[in-house]
Structure 1
Amino acid sequence: MVPILSKSSNLNNKILRDLSAHEKHQTQNLQREIEEMTKQCNDLQKSSEELASQVNDLHEQVDAALGAEELVELLG
């Protein structure tokens, strides 16, 4: 017959092992999620920079078109 104290200790050890395994699994999942979000953030930053560059190019094109329009009006 196993003493009650020994059974309780074994149960506590099993609970601690289960909790530790669960926490390790959660930590791995969170780490994976952080990596995915970091990649998404980097991709969004790159897209933002590309779009800002396109906006600047479009502003320059509009300014050039307005300048050409004014020149045509002056010559016409």
Structure 2
Amino acid sequence: MTRRTGIQDLIAQILGRDALTVVEIARRAGTTEMGAQSAVRAMEQRREVVRVGQGQGQPFRFRLARRSPA
């Protein structure tokens, strides 16, 4: 199991129950869009975050993946 970096922990706290775009995540985390995108992509590969449906012409939104209690 890989460990989260500091920015990934911060992103997990920021997302909470919300679904946010990378731009919104970057603003709330006080980081660059590229840094937030990289962290979200790594978290997505580990299935910690999921992409939420995107409206036509709208950016992807991400939310924390639901974990089963088992």
TM over 0.5: no
Question: TM (normalized to structure 2)?
Answer: 0.23
- Structure with more relative contact order (C-alpha pairs < 8 Å, separation 6 or more): 2
Higher alpha-carbon Rg: 1
In proportion to residue count, which structure has more helix? 1
Q: Greater strand percent: which structure?
A: 2
Q: TM-score, normalised by structure 1?
A: 0.21
